[in-house]
Structure 1
Amino acid sequence: VGFCHFYKKNLNIYKSAIVSLFRFGILEHVYPAFFKAMSHPDHVGVTLSVSVAGFVLGGSSYFQAVLFGGAWACLVYYCCHEVYDGYLRRKLEAEMADIQANFSDKQANGFWVVEMEVNGKSKVSGLLAVVKSDGWDADAEDTPSLEVFELVVSFNQRRKGLGTQLVETAVEFCKEQGLSRVIVEISSPQTAAISLFRKLGFIVTSVNSNTHLNHLVSKLARINVIRMEKHL
């Protein structure tokens, strides 16, 4: 495994590969979120109700029942997709628009990339970025901190310890900066990431449903934002 710390180097030359992996890392959560939402008792009840309504309104038509149930499922999928796609669009237009300026050129921020040889070619297979928190958390007694901006490992390179190596490297970076804690916010369908951060000593400090989208969209998607912290 070739683990490379590109901090203070020109990250923009890797921008295409980084953005591609970043996009994958965000949108891969749409389907897990959709299946998790559809398995919720409330959504199961609604699905059955609209299917029955379709059956009755269609004159005992099973096709109409499936059509109505499918329409409801499509609505839930759309909401789940909007949560992640909306987040992706915001980040691509902001921090990820100029990776070099927003990460490497800012001393308080950090960006790490994993390069691995795949079929004889070097490929970006993982990334992690940390950014200085926007402000102070009153509940944390003004503790200076960094926030994990994103952690992504390509699908075929998982379960090899890359995620752990990236997080541990970022934690060491935070210690070198003289900071007292690291923060990460993860969506509830990201069960593997939540388990990883727990294993590395992060604890859940809050859970909310603020996805920065319309309240109805967030409610139908049933995606919670889990805040975890590790004190150094």
Structure 2
Amino acid sequence: MKLIKYTNSYQKDVKDFVIAAHDEFNFPYDRKLDYDLDNPDKYYNNRGGMFYLLLDNEKVIGTAAVKKLDDKTAELKRLYVNKNYRGKGLGLQLFTEALDFCRENKIAKVVLDTNIKQKAAQKLYEKNGFKIDRVDKNTIFMSKILEK
């Protein structure tokens, strides 16, 4: 397995992977919310953020993205691991890589949101210092101030 930075050659694979991850939790594909999947370079890599892929023999098995919101704030997005690869620390590996990117780029605060159905993700975030800011219907909004 290898962790790489997103390149356009993986665009279709990434989109298919994230849609499949959404299907697992019965989240419908929504072009208004999922527009970034059509061009991750444009919405992440070319705007001061980063999109990571975890590959197993060139197959996408995990993703994580950092979306820069301003000079000091970023949003963690698209953290997914294929269900057949869970329980092996791969989500933590992607999560750690994303937070390391934030630190290297002088990001002071990371925000995220997750659905209440995603219990494993919530546990990962809370275990690693994210605090719940608010809950709105089925969405939990969390944040963390990064140590310098």
Asked if Structure 1 and Structure 2 have the same fold, meaning a TM-score greater than 0.5 normalized by the shorter chain, the answer is: yes
Question: Structure 2 CA distance, aligned partners of 1:159 and 1:167?
Answer: 14
1:111 aligns with 2:51: yes
Q: Which of the two has greater strand per residue?
A: 2
Amino acid of the residue matched to residue 183 of structure 1? V
Unmatched runs of 5 consecutive residues or more in structure 2 = none
Secondary structure of 1:189's counterpart equals coil
Secondary structure of 2:79's counterpart equals strand
Residue identity over aligned pairs, in percent, reads 27
Residues 84-127 of structure 1 deviation map (CA, whole Å, 9 limit, x = unaligned):
325x33233x2222122222222x2110000113xxxx211100
Match of 1:99 among 37, 40, 55: 40
Residues 111-161 of structure 1 deviation map (CA, whole Å, 9 limit, x = unaligned):
0000113xxxx211100111122x7xxxxxxx9210012111111111111
Match of 2:88 in 1: 160
Give the number of the structure whose alpha-carbon radius of gyration is greater: 1
Q: Which of the two has greater helix per residue?
A: 1
1:89 aligns with 2:17: no
Superposition deviation, residue 3 in structure 1? 1.9
Matches for 1:24-39 after TM superposition, within 5 Å: 24-30=20-26
Residues 33-52 of structure 1 deviation map (CA, whole Å, 9 limit, x = unaligned):
xxxxxxxxxxxxxxxxxxxx
Question: Structure 1 CA distance, aligned partners of 2:13 and 2:38?
Answer: 13
Secondary structure of 2:117's counterpart equals coil
Match of 1:5 in 2: 5
Matches for 1:171-190 after TM superposition, within 5 Å: 171-190=99-118
| TM-score, normalisation: structure 2 | 0.90
Amino acid of the residue matched to residue 122 of structure 2? I
Matches for 1:211-222 after TM superposition, within 5 Å: none
1:202 aligns with 2:142: no
Secondary structure of 1:206's counterpart equals strand
Secondary structure of 2:106's counterpart equals coil
Query: Larger RCO: Structure 1 or Structure 2 (Cα < 8 Å, ≥ 6 residues apart)?
Result: 1
| TM-score, normalisation: structure 1 | 0.59
Secondary structure of 1:178's counterpart equals coil
Question: Structure 1 CA distance, aligned partners of 2:115 and 2:73?
Answer: 20
Amino acid of the residue matched to residue 45 of structure 2? S
Amino acid of the residue matched to residue 26 of structure 1? H
Question: Structure 1 CA distance, aligned partners of 2:53 and 2:131?
Answer: 25
Secondary structure of 1:89's counterpart equals coil
Match of 1:230 in 2: 144
